Structure 1
């Protein structure tokens, strides 16, 4: 028994922890964020367009749009809702999302985008939280945080294609 196995057994009360198979993680296709675009219209109207790619869509890409009123928090909310629509489409509606909130938070001399949501995937609804560092574009960070929030729930549903 090597040292790391002993540490794992000691830390987990005698239960042997098996390492994850890297090949299964690599073979699992993922929904990939391509870009997002914000359009402001008359009378405080906003449209957010988010583009994704992945093998789940017939032409390899998916464009999702959300529209609403103009505000900084509202624009971030629309980007997250568009992301959740894309995840629902990629999972053939097996997953449903209810956005709790999206908020930029200042922490450790940087801004972090936080997303909280309820996920329903046939079982009990579960609360998930995701975070992403804001690197210039707050809407792109909101999309990445939404993907991080849904990642654990989406991975089994978006697993290897049959």
Structure 2
């Protein structure tokens, strides 16, 4: 036995075994955000398709947290109460979430070399472009398309 570790029969903690979501004894299902967080963990874990590893479980928790944060910011954006800082934070959250989801195989989104999710543009840039994903107006684009047909 010299030089080897003896396995203990100690049980895993409630968080490690999946019996609880947090070390602290709280009930996350007492509010809407807590229920959404718990639901997302279940849904993302099911999407993995097999029993997740410990690192996959930790990543799923991060993705669920980012989703709840993003949904809160989406609400303030839709209400028109979001600041420029909120919109920038929303963009960062979405980019990080796409990166984590792609790492787990949960997303088809591509991440560019600079770390930005493909097709995701900064909300301030979106507004500067006149609420369009393209850097030029529709009229200019229509004219360009018409000229290509000629």
TM-score class, shorter: under 0.3
Q: Which structure is larger by alpha-carbon Rg, 1 or 2?
A: 2
Q: What TM-score does the superposition give when structure 2 sets the normalisation length?
A: 0.28
Q: What TM-score does the superposition give when structure 1 sets the normalisation length?
A: 0.26
Greater helix share, structure number: 2
